[in-house]
């Protein structure tokens, strides 16, 4: 079936380095994508979003890149900090009714 998935379940980076978290999607009809951060026992927290008519969008220390040709989404975190340690999910909006579906998640671990 159509789904949103992630390449790496766990990503370990050194504090201060840049992090790149990847996501593959298979539904070419999806037109809106969101990255969320979830800390243990809490609800997901919005990070950044992008529409399908955009290739790149930047926020504070974060950048989302969308490659529609290969159906690939990535989240780049600059100068990764210990507080960035969490599970990151990508989500896609599909269907006429704004159905929002999530991928399996990547755990980011930041080493001091």
Stretch that binds another protein, among 12-20, 21-29, 37-45, 73-81 (CB under 8 A): 37-45
Provide long-range contacts, Cβ within 8 A and 24+ apart, for 47-53: 47/75, 47/88, 48/75
Closer residue to another protein (CB): 14 or 67: 67
CA distance 104 to 112: 26
Applying CB under 8 A, does 51 fall inside the site for another protein?
yes
Tell me, rounded to whole angstroms, the distance of Cα 3 from its chain centroid.
14
Chain residues that interact with another protein, rule: CB under 8 A:
32, 34, 36, 41-46, 49-51, 54, 57, 89, 91, 93, 97-105
């Amino acid at each position: 079936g159509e789904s949103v998935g992630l390449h790496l379940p766990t990503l370990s980076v050194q504090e201060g380095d840049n992090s790149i978290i990847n996501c593959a999607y298979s539904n070419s009809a999806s037109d809106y994508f969101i990255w969320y951060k979830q800390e243990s026992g809490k609800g997901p927290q919005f990070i950044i979003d992008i529409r399908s008519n955009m290739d790149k969008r930047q926020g504070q220390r974060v950048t989302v890149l969308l490659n529609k040709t290969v159906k690939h989404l990535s989240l780049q975190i600059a100068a990764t900090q210990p507080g960035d340690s969490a599970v990151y999910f990508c989500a896609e909006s599909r269907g006429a009714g704004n159905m929002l579906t999530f991928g399996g998640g990547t755990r980011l671990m930041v080493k001091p």
